[in-house]
Structure 1
Amino acid sequence: MLYDDFYVKSLIQTVEDWPKEGISFRDITPIFSDPKGMRMVVDAYVHRYMSSDISHIACIDARGFLIAAVLAYELQKPLILIRKKGKLPGKTVSQAYALEYGEAELEIQEGAVKAGNNVLLFDDLIATGGTLFAAIKLLTGQGATIKEVAAIIDLPDLGGSEKLRESDVPVFSLCAYDGD
């Protein structure tokens, strides 16, 4: 099944003033209840990365887990979880970052990646880039190389994807919402 940008975008809902006033939240959860949309999204990534030299897929808590887990299974790659502080057992490394509407901290388990690992970093959405830059620091701090950042949605007006590219991190998204 071929990827249909219009169809997938029709599934994404905009929730105004959530999680706080003035934010237009792009909700991808309807994709998960639509088998056709889910198949299109997963297949788009599988086809993009099936011949790449990625060795691992890292994903960010929590919606990023849902597509990345299926993608890791389909591509037969190890999956690395990057979670909110206090959610991972064992020894962890943490990184604080700023959100477009607050502050938070991410963690990864020590030894989750190592030098020579080529990582695809997956999240549901690229906004200001704060979450992704924190995840990149966690992964590269353990020696991994970021091959690409992938997301379902890019919000280019918030500047995150541009900042990533300016930092020499390749970026791929399935759809973008400019100024709306």
Structure 2
Amino acid sequence: MWLKTYLIITGIGAFVGLTMPWLVIIGSFLIIPGIILASMPTAFMYGVAFALFRLLLGAFLSGVSLNVMSGAATLALFWTIPQPGLTWARGMLASLKEPDIQASAPIALKGDILLARPFEGRCDALCAALLKTPGVTSVRVQTPRGHSNTYRIVPDSTPGKRSTVIGHGLLEEWRYDASDPLAP
């Protein structure tokens, strides 16, 4: 009988707390009613799991041992559910704690370079310096929104109709220019 009463009270409390969240906020001003209303959905979930385990184990056990085993099974269930996520989070945390890796020799930059930027922008001083580095053919600047522009220094050629210098004598991927203002 006590389990039915518990499930009815926590079920009604969970329903009220979930359907009227403003009531939980108002109850939070009075502290105790807010804590009670906020904890009702969790208490109801634990009660339902306990009742299901009690129903399943009722054929094998009775009395106090039935309640103890049902409680232990409920706690084990709610301990087991978050374990995969916790394992993943611990792995991510461990990877963040790994020491920095030092190269045995300076790393030579060659080919196409990707700059992932936390802000919107065009080719800045770092991009220009990378383009002037021997062996670098182009620099792609990528923004957090997923947009990217590829910059390269174009050799001397006849300017076309679409040629527009964007700064530092650099051109966007779809544009070209015959001159390089940064040339020595």
Name which structure has the greater RCO, CA cutoff 8 Å, separation 6+: 1
Normalised by the shorter chain, which TM-score bucket? under 0.3
Please report the TM-score for the alignment, with normalisation by the length of structure 2. Answer: 0.23
Structure with a larger share of its residues in helix: 2
Please report the TM-score for the alignment, with normalisation by the length of structure 1. Answer: 0.23
